């Protein structure tokens, strides 16, 4: 996913559709990401994905599920996750609904306690959703209805209906989550290491720096990244830097040289080489493509 910022507790937040409504609703596709793969990330929000066209693999805490059209997945709070394309690099179009617990409002200790109980670390990490099971089919339809309400039903969405629909999603999935004994706390180390990269991508980062951030040795660092993120720490750093550079190419008028340095690359020539190798086009060409697409 894109549009991520980092909280002081090293978790991530999204740029919600409305500043005062903690609900993120979008239609996306894998080709918007570098190498048809989103950067592994985590956040306190609950996340629901519904696949419209194509297919993708989706990793949650290192466990991979294939999602085909008409299928989806629920990702519990604070789980490391990302979607990526199949071996044929085909695109995948999907809906995503992300819900922050602050949607419950203030002074709602009873609701918050229930939220913490249902969506805590000791509960199910994720749940595959299919239209072959009635309650899951209804939940997938609700994801579509939230998207329609946000974008197609009215010029201005009805906030009461959006909140009601979002809470209905939480209630429906909460009824089917189970307590899982022996949940490992090792993910905390991975979250600390990825968050360190997100906060320091513009600086020189060594494998030792990443391992230290997670309080593990370098060998353990590499093992955890391969298991939970699906790539080496150094590759993850490069992928995240490329994601940030794409955002800057789209959203700013900064020169390629300025963007290269701002994203932690040694030089503009090295940045252009890596960018072309990974994206198939030069940074300048990528910027032109984005401008032509949006104009």
Residue 294 has pLDDT above 90, yes or no: no
- The label of the residue with tokens 């670390």 reads 121
Query: How far apart (Å, rounded) are the C-alpha atoms in residues 227 and 237?
Result: 16
According to DSSP, residue 69 is labeled: T
Q: Give the percent of the chain with pLDDT over 70.
A: 90
Highest mean pLDDT: which of 35-49, 98-112, 170-184, 220-234?
Answer: 220-234
Considering the chain, what is the average pLDDT of its residues?
89
pLDDT digits 0-9 by tens, 154-181: 678 999 999 999 999 999 999 999 988 7
> Which among 89, 69, 77, 37 has a CA at the least distance from the CA of 230?
37
If phi > 0 it is left, if psi is from -120 to 50 it is alpha, else beta; for residue 128 that is: beta
Residue-wise DSSP of 132-163: TSHHHHHHHHHHHHHHHHHHTS-SS--HHHHH
Q: Residue 19 has what pLDDT?
A: 86
Residue 111 has pLDDT above 50, yes or no: yes
> Which among 214, 246, 242 has a CA at the least distance from the CA of 228?
214
pLDDT digits 0-9 by tens, 9-40: 334 557 899 988 999 999 999 887 766 667 88
Q: Residue 10 has what pLDDT?
A: 38
Q: Residue 1 has what pLDDT?
A: 41
Strand, helix or coil for residue 176: coil
Joined tokens for residue 68: 């085909």
Residue 228 has pLDDT above 50, yes or no: yes
Residue 262 has pLDDT above 90, yes or no: yes
């Amino acid at each position: 996913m894109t549009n991520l910022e980092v909280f002081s507790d090293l978790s991530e937040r999204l740029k919600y559709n409305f500043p005062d409504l903690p609900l993120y609703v979008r239609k996306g596709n894998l080709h918007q990401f570098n190498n048809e793969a989103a950067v592994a990330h985590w956040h306190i929000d609950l996340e629901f994905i519904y696949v419209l066209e194509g297919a993708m693999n989706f990793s949650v805490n290192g466990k991979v599920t294939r999602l085909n059209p008409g299928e989806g997945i629920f990702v519990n709070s604070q789980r490391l996750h990302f979607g990526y394309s199949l071996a044929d690099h085909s695109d995948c179009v999907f809906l995503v609904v992300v819900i922050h617990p602050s949607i419950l409002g203030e002074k709602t200790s009873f609701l918050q306690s229930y939220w913490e109980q249902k969506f805590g670390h000791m509960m199910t990490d994720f749940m595959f959703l299919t239209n072959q099971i009635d309650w899951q089919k209804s939940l997938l339809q609700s994801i579509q209805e939230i998207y329609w309400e946000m974008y197609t039903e009215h010029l201005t969405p009805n906030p009461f209906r959006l909140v009601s629909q979002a809470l209905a999603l939480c209630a429906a999935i909460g009824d089917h989550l189970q307590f899982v004994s022996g949940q490992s706390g090792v993910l905390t180390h991975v979250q600390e290491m990825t968050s360190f990269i997100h906060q320091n991508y513009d600086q020189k980062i060594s494998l030792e720096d990443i391992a230290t951030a997670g309080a593990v040795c370098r060998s353990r660092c590499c093992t955890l990244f391969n298991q939970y993120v699906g790539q080496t720490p150094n590759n993850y750093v490069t992928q995240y830097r490329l994601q940030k550079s794409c955002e800057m190419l789209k959203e700013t008028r900064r020169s390629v040289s300025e963007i290269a340095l701002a994203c932690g690359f040694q030089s503009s020539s090295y940045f252009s080489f890596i960018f072309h190798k990974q994206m198939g086009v030069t940074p300048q060409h990528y910027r032109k493509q984005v401008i032509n697409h949006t104009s």
